[in-house]
Structure 1
Amino acid sequence: MTIRTVLRSGILMVAVLAAAALSACQSATAPPLEPTVALADAGEYRLGPGDAVRVIVFGQEQLSGEFSVDGSGQIALPLIGGVAAKGLTSRQVEKRIAERLAEGYVRDPKVSVEVLNFRPFYIIGEVNKPGQYPYASGMSAVTAVALAGGYTYRAREDYVLITRTIDGEKQERRAAPNTPVLPDDVIRVPERFF
């Protein structure tokens, strides 16, 4: 063996070891990349505490108005009192309100529920202005980063970690920057190592 061959073998071995070490560091700091679809939970928006809604009972102005979902997940309405809304879509809440009003209060009620203000989302980690931000429909992780003043110089820009409640359980998943954000999500921008 020549010295040149030995040097090439040594350099190759160092490169392989460095790649393995980098891979081990990355896998130890974040769960594997999940498909965007699994994280998106792209179904209809489900109400929760902190959401503000407009309820319109057609022909009944005194029963219509703007209401908030309280900490227990209820909307307090005139005449019928609390209506459970947590975890339901606006269409499901419309149906519940109409059913309650039809119990002797209003004949054949027609109800509309519209979300006015969504719960906020939270962003932490390697962004310039971490904190709580108002949610806007159609947001992605990268637009959330932009709202938070952009990435710091130490930020990893190829993925984020999103903590979301899925089936009643908080789960953290690694996600691409174009992953849709939902209200109540906690987005963490990790630090890069090199």
Structure 2
Amino acid sequence: MAKKWFQALTLTLALTAVSAPHPVLAGEKPRESRNVELQLAPGDTIKVTTYGLPALSGDFVISSEGTIAFPLVGNIKAAGVKPSAIQETITAGLASGYVTEPSVAVEVGSYRPIYILGEVGKPGEYPYSLGLTIRDAVAKAGGFTYRANEKRVYIKGAGEDDEHPYKLTAGIPVAPGDTIRIGERYF
């Protein structure tokens, strides 16, 4: 009788271990949500339009130093600032002796791409678009594979050294330059 009781207890423990969710590693706490603040960074492209002066209009890629080289104005800090601040800097630079009453518009042309790795249909690099969420990004990458852990996602932000775990909910935002990894589930 004791042998059967021991076998039943062992079977119960084994089934409990198999049905447990993905183990949390030491120090790893899945986050519920993520705040994303869009800032320009190296690799992003901005579109500058100077009305009436097509020679002073065009697309500019933010350099690795975080600047753009604008004609007549010189190098302008673009990384970490908003397009409106770049617009003000260009307008002030042109107004200081080059153009009377310049009218300048600055908008984001394109952000850095995102990268999706792991258990998705087509891992790789994908273009970033405003309002992109993790679920949207996974859909772009061909959806989850049959081995995917659909409850947790790992995100490494641009410029960060480590990836962070998040509970996979519908509204987790993606930022330009993010690397998203969908892990493998156990059983």
Question: Residue deviations 1:14-64, cap 9 Å, x none?
Answer: 269627x946x611288312131xx232x3x21112212111223433212
Identity %: 39
Give the equivalent residue in structure 1 for 2:55.
62
Q: SS state of the match for residue 40, structure 1?
A: coil
CA RMSD for the aligned pairs? 2.9
| Among candidates 139, 156, 161, match of residue 146 of structure 1 | 139
Shift of 1:121: 0.4
Give the equivalent residue in structure 2 for 1:120.
113
Change in CA separation of 1:66 and 1:132 when aligned onto 2, cut-off 3 Å? same
Do residues 172 (structure 1) and 163 (structure 2) align?
A: yes
Shift of 1:158: 1.2
Give the equivalent residue in structure 1 for 2:17.
18
Change in CA separation of 1:30 and 1:182 when aligned onto 2, cut-off 3 Å? farther
Give the equivalent residue in structure 2 for 1:105.
98
Cα distance in 2 between the residues matched to 1:90 and 1:35: 30
Question: Residue deviations 1:128-185, cap 9 Å, x none?
Answer: 21111111111111111111111111110112101114xx644422222431111100
Cα distance in 2 between the residues matched to 1:161 and 1:186: 8
Do residues 40 (structure 1) and 11 (structure 2) align?
A: no
Can you give the 5+ residue segments of structure 2 that lack an aligned partner in the other structure? Answer: none
Which amino acid in the other structure matches residue 147 of structure 1? Answer: K
Cα distance in 2 between the residues matched to 1:188 and 1:174: 9
Which amino acid in the other structure matches residue 10 of structure 1? Answer: L
Q: SS state of the match for residue 54, structure 1?
A: strand
Larger fraction in helix: 1
Cα distance in 2 between the residues matched to 1:29 and 1:134: 34
Would the aligned equivalents of 1:140 and 1:177 in 2 still touch at CA under 8 Å? no
Question: Residue deviations 1:80-117, cap 9 Å, x none?
Answer: 22211111111121122223223322334332211111
Would the aligned equivalents of 1:40 and 1:181 in 2 still touch at CA under 8 Å? no
Change in CA separation of 1:30 and 1:184 when aligned onto 2, cut-off 3 Å? farther
Give the equivalent residue in structure 1 for 2:72.
79
Counterparts of residues 147-162 of structure 1 (less than 5 Å): 147-162=140-155
